[in-house]
A and B are shown apart, each in its own frame.
Chain A
């Protein structure tokens, strides 16, 4: 164990003290490559230079001295993307008020959260970590790469969409928490909708105030005694949503509240990138496909509250067949490590093909997050984010052996097993010593 920790500390310090080099060089050889976008290569190689995929094919020869991973007999897929999570954050929800658009997950990133390690042990390389669902309008989310051991700022993915969390239904209206004293408004779906509308109307009013001020300030006839309006961070965030600088990611379970939110988005002209959970999406697959709004769902986690009581396992597969962009998420520091199992279930419940199932945790969430140019598939020019499995990733018998981000190995099961063995050996040695000394405690 000591060696592990010393090793860890060394790695961390080396990484911190080394210059901000973007990524590493790596050559993965002889694996069954599931590219996601360009089919399967039975015995293929991937060449990554400075963290970017430079070549995919057969019999690639890399530069001299490059680190080589032999993936014979293994399956190589793009790093898995979890598009709804709360890991790596200090705190999840600002619950004291119903509208908290001003809070940012960027401010509370925690690179030391163990869940990051749990994620890489399951092949996850990118996570959209979010504000909780306790508020009709929550805060600004952030996309990070699961670079365990690096600093929080090094994990941030800057190319992703800016997203603001919205929530409908039981959680923001506090149906399932005990209420002491005066309940917080809103307590009904009517109120949830109304409060969101109210805030956008306030935001429009705020934007108008600033527009008028700027006009007056810059006009040829200067207005006397002009003071700027107060800069309100909450309103600025909502203004950014209205201006198209941020997209909405809305937690919704029931079909009806989902449709109502789409109406709201049209009322104010803002974009919804994705509905989170969307248990009843199968009921409105048509509308979601027409509006080109994606969903990010659990495959089969359901029946934990009333609005999830019709969350059938067929929903993800059915919606995919109907042309909706579907991703599977974990929303959990535990489920995050078996997203590939959930994807496999979509073949059974929903009749998806292998490729369609794998898309649910790779390219689909990448598109939803706006990072498809750098992640979500194994394509030349994208980041070298790769997960290597010992069996087909959609088999129940598989496990993740290596997780690689931008050419750097962040999780290595072989290394982990070696360290465990050493630790066990050491422990046994220590126990023998104790026995010799005279009686184990």
Chain B
């Protein structure tokens, strides 16, 4: 009976999949966005303009009247809207499914019989983000909602964390998103646990030694390839192979700088080994502004995470100063850099979710960063840094049609992203539930729910977490465990967005209904189908 039920459900979902247009179609429609204010970033704003999108590119743009609308164009009325280049976030950890961390064997903490191989196991410069991509519809939606159309996916763990990939957030399948891979090698000033280097001083020595070893290895290899007679052949070393393009051929190396001393450490290494180095993280960059001015050639990417690093003096001189640091001093980082005429990109490194990005940009603007600079720092500047400014980062004819239409000036508090184009593909932005009512109902806990459809019933267990109005958690059934990606409880009205994976495909299910202390009722909608959900709370103590 159970098997039959499941089969029915699988059939239902399979049908839905067939009709869901989540993958990018081969042929994209031609669009004409009319009557909007255009902010190209690399040119003056156009008060009332038209943008023509064809074959994924901006065919033309200009003031109303000067641009003719092609016959095959679908007209998008954009009165009152603002058109900006899609924002580029040069650091995200979304879309990445990392291999599970090896559990630390008990007893290896204070010891080391570290031979060269064990050393390298802890570092993985050969980890390619492009091979570990996993896209989630909810991630895509979250990014679009804040106007981000291009992301640099960065592996974050380890000293040599791996190599990043640049994606255009154009859908749910991974491969069509890839713009460039690898983009850079990413280095963190962290330590290996249980093995060398287990301290920051060790990491510095380790980095230097690995750069020296790479140079030595490469020169041996090149010498061998020129004249192998009489020369011992170089031993293959995967670690050094992975580093060679960066140390010898000078591909970009990003140094993650958690504090101002890391910035100095990074600049020191970049100078010593003549690397093509980039500084990232750097949320206290303003404190070493003079040093950065001297090293202006090194691209600077600054995080919108305003949490002061643990080493910061602002954190150790009383609660008052600590609070001030988080709320006033660190948010002013970008503004201070701008005052010093330094160029930088803004990234979301360290932020928990995409919706924090506009919030923090607003804070940075409030602290004195001109809005235009903030815009540049998330469009043309990161495009230049990442070497893609010939086709991304601004609204110019011939560039890729990554465009966002906003209800107001970008980064304003009330502004919402209405529409997003990535690679010329149009995306609608779902509106967040309006008018949140404070809720007194607490639905946190375990629930047993029945999902019924014309094809049968599915028993599920809901595990709900509640933080004020925000709901999260999971739905488990014998079809798997699905995450409640987003949820709002407004009064008694409950709206959930569930990320369901069926047969390897991920799709969004939307639930809307009402919730009481012990019962939840509502409907789950997928495309045109809807299913009823009735849930009863499982009392504490019962399974």
- A residues near B (Cβ < 8 Å) are 1-2, 5, 8, 16-17, 89-97, 100, 102-105, 107-112, 114, 131, 139, 151-153, 177-184, 224-225, 227-228, 230-234
Contacts and interface: CB of A to CB of B under 8 A. Distances in A.
B121 interface: no
Given A96-B197, A180-B106, A225 B261 contact: no
Contacts of A227: 219-220, 223, 231
Nearest to A178: B110
A182 B199 contact: no
Q: Helix, strand, loop or mixed for chain A's interface?
A: loop
A231 B113 CA distance: 23
Given A181-B111, A227-B223, A112 B316 contact: yes
Given A90-B311, A96-B195, A227-B219, A103 B112 contact: no
B196 A152 contact: no
Contacts of B204: 103-104, 107-108
B212 A233 contact: yes
Contact of A95 (B105, B110, B200, B288): B110
A97 B312 contact: no
Given A90-B311, A230-B213, A96 B112 contact: yes
A419 to B, nearest CB: 12
A121 B106 CA distance: 44
B198 A94 contact: yes
12 contacts: A2-B320, A89-B201, A94-B198, A94-B202, A96-B196, A97-B114, A103-B199, A105-B201, A107-B205, A112-B312, A182-B111, A233-B205
B324 interface: yes
Given A152-B261, A181-B105, 5 more contacts: A2-B320, A5-B321, A90-B311, A95-B112, A231-B212
Given A102-B205, A152-B261, A224-B230, A114 B200 contact: no
B206 to A, nearest CB: 8
Nearest to B268: A107
Interface in B191-249: 192, 194-202, 204-205, 208-209, 212-213, 216, 219-220, 223, 227, 229-231
Interface residues of B, number: 49
A5 B324 contact: yes
B43 interface: no
Given A5-B320, A5-B324, A108 B201 contact: yes
B199 A93 contact: yes
Nearest to A230: B216
A89 B114 CA distance: 25
A149 to B, nearest CB: 9
Contacts of A91: 199-201
A95 B198 contact: yes
Contacts of A104: 201, 204-205
A96 B198 contact: yes
Contacts of A233: 205, 208-209, 212
A152 B264 CA distance: 10
A92 B205 CA distance: 14
B317 A225 contact: no
Contacts of A102: 205, 208-209
Nearest to A151: B288
A239 to B, nearest CB: 15
Given A100-B205, A112-B312, A225 B200 contact: no
B318 interface: yes
Contacts of B324: 5
Nearest to A104: B201
B104 to A, nearest CB: 11
Nearest to B108: A181
B290 interface: yes
A364 to B, nearest CB: 28
Interface in B414-437: none
A5 B112 contact: no
Interface string B494-515: 0000000000000000000000
B117 interface: no
A184 B107 CA distance: 12
A210 to B, nearest CB: 13
Nearest to B201: A103
B313 interface: yes
Contacts of B2: none
Interface in B171-208: 192, 194-202, 204-205, 208
B265 interface: yes
A90 B230 contact: no
- 5 closest A-B pairs by beta carbon, nearest first, are A181-B107, A96-B196, A107-B204, A94-B202, A103-B201
Contacts of B197: 94, 96, 103
Contact of B313 (A2, A112, A225, A228): A112
A180 B109 contact: yes
Given A96-B197, A112-B311, A180 B107 contact: yes
Given A96-B197, A110-B311, A233-B209, A225 B202 contact: no
A259 to B, nearest CB: 30
Interface string B284-316: 000110100000000000000000000111001
Contacts of A231: 212, 216
Nearest to A139: B201
Contacts of A17: 290
A60 to B, nearest CB: 36
A91 B194 CA distance: 15
Nearest to B205: A102
A92 B223 CA distance: 41
A229 B111 CA distance: 30
Contacts of A183: 111
Contact of A179 (B111, B200, B311, B321): B111
Given A177-B110, A179-B111, A225 B231 contact: yes
Contacts of A1: 318, 320-321
B459 to A, nearest CB: 46
A111 B229 CA distance: 54
Interface in B323-374: 324
Given A91-B199, A97-B114, A232 B231 contact: no
Nearest to A237: B205
Contacts of B209: 102, 232-233
A108 B198 CA distance: 13
Nearest to A89: B201
Contact of A5 (B111, B114, B265, B317): B317
Contacts of B111: 179-184
Contacts of B313: 112
Contacts of A228: 216, 219
A90 B261 contact: yes
B201 A94 contact: yes
A97 B196 contact: yes
B265 A107 contact: yes
